[in-house]
Amino acid sequence: MNWQSIQELLKQRPEDFQGYLDRDILLPLLLGEDTADLSYWLGKSLARRLPLAEWDDLVSFFARADWGELSLISQKKSVTELRLQGPTVAKRLAFPATASFSLETGFVAQTREQQLGFLTEASFTVDARHQRVSLRIQTDLKDPVAQPRPEFIQLTTPVADSAPTE
């Protein structure tokens, strides 16, 4: 992002500047060239501190954290495809040189691992043209996690058959 873009952001959308400052300036300054990898692991660590009970809780958390609108695209036995979109994602993609979704991806991977009880990793791809991010969640159903299930936080009232399952 160049200085002119930062100046425009400050003038036109000052409410968005703090998020940009934290995620796209300060975090890379602290983490350097390892920002993407470390952000993924930060997302996993954050999910361990905020264990969400259900799929709907994850969707609700993303909305409350202003990370975007998370939705299920497809689900197979061990692979789940999600989409992250909405105004927050579009704003972040307006500055493509710094937009990374590693934190969100790590958070989703760890949340699903805790919910399912199997080793889970995730990756993301950016579709700048459509202003959305695709997340691919891979669960190893042959590798159960050894940690006990956490005491989950529940943000929503459970609705039958709304969650992706493995």
Identify the pLDDT of residue 9.
66
The answer to whether residue 78 sits within a structural domain is yes
Q: How many separate domains does the chain show? A: 1
The answer to whether residue 30 sits within a structural domain is yes
Q: Are 50 and 153 in contact (CB under 8 A)?
A: yes
Domain with 113 in it: 14-144
Identify the pLDDT of residue 21.
77
Identify the pLDDT of residue 93.
87
The answer to whether residue 111 sits within a structural domain is yes
The answer to whether residue 151 sits within a structural domain is no
20 closest CA partner among 34, 6, 3, 39: 6
The answer to whether residue 54 sits within a structural domain is yes
Predicted TM-score of the model (pTM):
0.86
Helix axes 102-116, 55-64, angle to 10 degrees: 150
Identify the pLDDT of residue 86.
96
Per-residue confidence of the chain (166 residues) as pLDDT tens digits?
Answer: 556 766 776 777 667 677 777 887 888 889 999 999 999 999 999 999 999 999 999 999 999 999 999 999 999 999 999 999 999 898 888 876 778 999 999 999 999 999 999 999 999 999 989 999 999 999 999 999 988 888 898 888 765 555 565 5
Tell me the CATH number at 63.
3.30.1380.20
Identify the pLDDT of residue 40.
97
61 phi and psi, to 5 degrees? -60, -45
Identify the pLDDT of residue 61.
96
Tokens standing for residue 22? 């934290």
**Distance from C-alpha of 80 to C-alpha of 37, rounded to nearest angstrom:** 21
Identify the pLDDT of residue 95.
73
The CA-atom distances, in angstroms, between 149 and each of 48, 52, 64, 113, 144 are 10, 11, 24, 10, 11
Identify the pLDDT of residue 122.
98
Taking the CA atoms of the chain, what radius of gyration do you get in angstroms? 16
